[in-house]
Structure 1
Amino acid sequence: MKKASILMIVGPLLLLGLYIFPLWYIILGAPQYPDPLGMNIHISGLQGVNEFDIQNIDGLNHYIGMQTLPKPEDMWEFSTFPMVIGIMVALGVLIGILGYLNKVSYKWFIGWFLLMSILGVLGMYDFNQWLVDYGTDLDPNAIMKLTNPDGTPMTYKPPLLGHVKMLNFDVTSMPATGGWLMFVGMMLTLIAGFLGWKTSKKPVKN
């Protein structure tokens, strides 16, 4: 149980990387931009990959009526997510320490993993809803009004994950360093739960 408990301590600690590294990134590439425009999505706000990327993205979006990119004070998520991550890290480390001291069973490890998974799914759903609103709620007085072949207004929702072609832009959305650290950390807690379960199945020696 001690090996499992050590993994249970290390796993949540990897989530602290979210305070340093971006969780996600979106890259926009086009022939007129030799250096693609990029946006890093941190749990506390948005940052351009390069110095003027956010400004340039907002400038492009203005022509088609998209909203300006939100500042930290514009979205409750940017103040709530850091607190949630901090609570989950502290809870996970506490569970790991208690497991090391044989005060709790492996079921608590699995419980933490399931709770973090649910929070992760809810976070991804919220992020996708923001992308939908960002790409479809367009200013009717925009300079450029583009339509689909059937005459319906064109939408500009970036992909949640993967690549899509929007006009002459190639848009790619992928996990960044913080996202991968979170994934590895969660996998370690799952392995901890599995090792704890295996340990519990071993016969007790008299």
Structure 2
Amino acid sequence: MKKASILMIVGPLFLLGLYVFPLWNIMLGAPQYPEPLGMNIHIDGIRDVNEFDLQNIDGLNHYIGMRKLPKPEEMWEFSTFPLVIGGMVFLGLVIGVLGYFKKVSYGWFMGWFVLMSVLGVLGMYDFNAWMVDYGTNLDPNAIMKLSNPDGTPMSYKPPLFGHAKMLNFGVTSLPSTGAWMMFTGMMLILAAFFVGWKANKAKKSKIHSSS
């Protein structure tokens, strides 16, 4: 159980990478931009990949009626997500320490993993909903009004994951360093559960064989 608990203590610490590294990255490339424009989505705001990228993206979006990219104070998520991550790191450390001193069972490790997974799915759903609104709720007085072949207004929603073509831009949206660190931490906690389960099974087997 001690090995499992150490993994449970180490795993949540990987989530601290989200305070330093971006969670997601979106890049926009086009022939007139030899160096693609990009934005890094952090848990506390959106930042340039290269200097002036956000300013240039906002300038392009203005022509098709998209709103400016939100500042941290304009979205509740950017003030809430850091608190949620901090809370989950603290909770994971407490469970790991209690497990080390045999105050809780390995089942609590899976409880943390499930809770973090649910929060992750909700976060992705919220992020996608924001992108839908951002890419479809356009200014009717925009300079350029483009429509699909069926006459419906064109959507400029970036893909949640992968690559998409929007006008003459290729848009690529992928998880970044922070997301991979979070994934690594969660895999360590999943491993902690299985190590704990295996140790418990071996202990029961030993008891049965000696009785």
CA shift for structure 1 position 101: 0.8
- Alpha-carbon distance between aligned partners in 2 of 1:26 and 1:2, rounded to the nearest angstrom: 41
- Alpha-carbon distance between aligned partners in 1 of 2:152 and 2:63, rounded to the nearest angstrom: 18
**1:160-179 alignment to 2 at 5 Å?**
160-179=160-179
**1:110-149 alignment to 2 at 5 Å?**
110-149=110-149
- Alpha-carbon distance between aligned partners in 2 of 1:69 and 1:115, rounded to the nearest angstrom: 30
- Alpha-carbon distance between aligned partners in 1 of 2:174 and 2:9, rounded to the nearest angstrom: 27
Aligned equivalent of 1:59: 59
- Alpha-carbon distance between aligned partners in 1 of 2:52 and 2:6, rounded to the nearest angstrom: 43
- Alpha-carbon distance between aligned partners in 2 of 1:30 and 1:8, rounded to the nearest angstrom: 45
Aligned equivalent of 1:19: 19
What are the Cα deviations for residues 80-120 of structure 1, in whole angstroms up to 9, with x where unaligned? 00000000000001111111111111100000000000000
CA shift for structure 1 position 139: 0.2
SS, match of residue 115 in structure 2: helix
SS, match of residue 84 in structure 1: helix
* Count of aligned pairs between the two proteins: 206
CA shift for structure 1 position 204: 4.0
- Alpha-carbon distance between aligned partners in 1 of 2:152 and 2:84, rounded to the nearest angstrom: 40
Aligned equivalent of 1:10: 10
Alignment pair present for 1:87 and 2:117: no
Higher CA-based Rg: 2
CA shift for structure 1 position 163: 0.5
SS, match of residue 67 in structure 1: coil
Alignment pair present for 1:45 and 2:45: yes
Which structure 1 residue ranges, 4+ long, deviate > 6 Å from structure 2? none
| Percent sequence identity over aligned pairs | 76
SS, match of residue 96 in structure 1: helix
What are the Cα deviations for residues 108-158 of structure 1, in whole angstroms up to 9, with x where unaligned? 000000000000000000000000000000000000000011111101000
- Alpha-carbon distance between aligned partners in 2 of 1:95 and 1:143, rounded to the nearest angstrom: 56
Measured on the aligned residues, the alpha-carbon RMSD in Å equals 0.8
Matched AA of 1:7: L
Matched AA of 1:188: L
Q: What TM-score does the superposition give when structure 1 sets the normalisation length?
A: 0.99
SS, match of residue 36 in structure 1: strand
Segments of 5+ residues of structure 2 without an aligned counterpart are none
Aligned equivalent of 2:192: 192
Segments of 5+ residues of structure 1 without an aligned counterpart are none
- Alpha-carbon distance between aligned partners in 2 of 1:101 and 1:130, rounded to the nearest angstrom: 43
Matched AA of 2:39: M
Aligned equivalent of 1:97: 97
SS, match of residue 147 in structure 2: coil
What are the Cα deviations for residues 51-92 of structure 1, in whole angstroms up to 9, with x where unaligned? 100000000000000010000000000000000000000000
